[in-house]
Amino acid sequence: HQLLNLYFVKPEKPDYIEKRIEYTQLKDIHEYVLNVGFLIRKPINNSFSAYILASVGPMITDTETERMSEGFAFSDVLAVGFSAKVQRFQFDIRPSVRHVSNAGLGNSNAGYNTKNIELGLSYSL
């Protein structure tokens, strides 16, 4: 992660110059997330189905950024997926959006959103 817009860190913070320098350095961030959710599936025919997935859960992040404090936060996911069965294989594609926020529990809480695409392949034994 790396801050590209210097002006995201406002001069109202007493140490904003130091924070701008810190946040513009490229860094790795590790997140540990445990979501619980539900999936509603609608068969289209014998081979194809569509579904909606929603989940929410706590997470821990190990690095402070300009948007989020280090530590506890929440991760929310909403996805629409499609599955296709071919013999014993099932192919899956799932575009999703994810919102991360610490709900105001930390110093920084601008949160962030990501767009994701997951691909899956499973084999039935």
As a whole number, mean pLDDT of residues 1-22 equals 83
Provide the 3-class DSSP secondary structure of residue 123: strand
Other C-beta atoms closer than 10 Å to the C-beta of 113 total: 10
Q: Which of 57, 72, 62, 75 is nearest to 113 (CA)?
A: 75
pLDDT band at 22 (very low <50, low <70, confident <90, very high): confident
pLDDT band at 104 (very low <50, low <70, confident <90, very high): confident
- Whether 107 shows a pLDDT value over 80: the answer reads no
DSSP calls for 48-91: EEEEEEEEEEEEEESS--SSB-SEEEEEEEEEEEEEEEETTEEE
pLDDT band at 31 (very low <50, low <70, confident <90, very high): very high
Q: What is the mean pLDDT of the chain?
A: 91
Token match 């997951």: residue? 118
Question: Structure pTM?
Answer: 0.79
Q: Per the structure block, which two tokens stand in for 52?
A: 């909606």
